[in-house]
Amino acid sequence: EGHVHEKIDYVFKVVVIGDSAVGKTQILSRFTKNEFCFDSKSTIGVEFQTRTITINSKVIKAQIWDTAGQERYRAVTSAYYRGALGAMLVYDITKRQSFDHVARWVEELRAHADNSIVIMLIGNKADLVDLRAVPTEDAVEFAEDQGLFFSEASALSGDNVDTAFFRLLEETFSVVS
């Protein structure tokens, strides 16, 4: 993305967490490759993807980690969280259970990640308006309560994906700089 010859000022590790099938892998590939892949889960074994962006004239390489399906077995290890400065906590707006589990994921972050980690709550699949099971206000309230940033997004349409990552990375930048 035109940063090939530029020096990198910061590397930010960001972890993507949330229940299985909420769209974590697709959000990641939308942000790093601007792609949505219909035959998902070809990513097993791939640990992270990167995208380099500029914030306040600083070149920041975002290294974004995917659980690669480990969350199915509740086997996300502390190594996954180690050194993470930001977290994308994803639920599916059409699956109430994935939102009900968000509190557990926040606990997991508080237990394993750095105290200053910046957390962005993402209500994914916002394109599926007719299937919505989680009102936006519920998520707004939860996010305010827990001190999280919040956005609904769609990995499929791409809506709000970049905006949410940029917001997270900007907040992370303001924490570290």
Closest distance of CB 157 from ligand GDP, Å: 7
Contact 22, 98 (CB under 8 A): yes
**x-marked contacts with ligand GDP along 53-72 as a string, rule CB under 6 A:** --------------------
Cα–Cα distance between 71 and 167 in angstroms, integer? Answer: 25
Q: Which amino acid is at 158?
A: G
Binding ligand GDP (rule: CB under 6 A), the pick from 12, 15, 17, 26 is 26
Which residue stretch of 22-30, 78-86, 132-140, 168-176 sits at the interface with ligand GDP (rule: CB under 6 A)?
22-30
Which CB atom, from 83 or from 158, has the smaller least distance to ligand GDP? 158
Cα–Cα distance between 24 and 17 in angstroms, integer? Answer: 7
Closest CA to 85 of 166, 174, 148, 172: 172
Residues β-bridged to residue 58: 55
Q: Token match 């962005």: residue?
A: 120
Question: Does 101 contact ligand GDP by CB under 6 A?
Answer: no
Binding residues for ligand GDP, per CB under 6 A?
20-26, 38, 40-41, 124-125, 127-128, 154-156
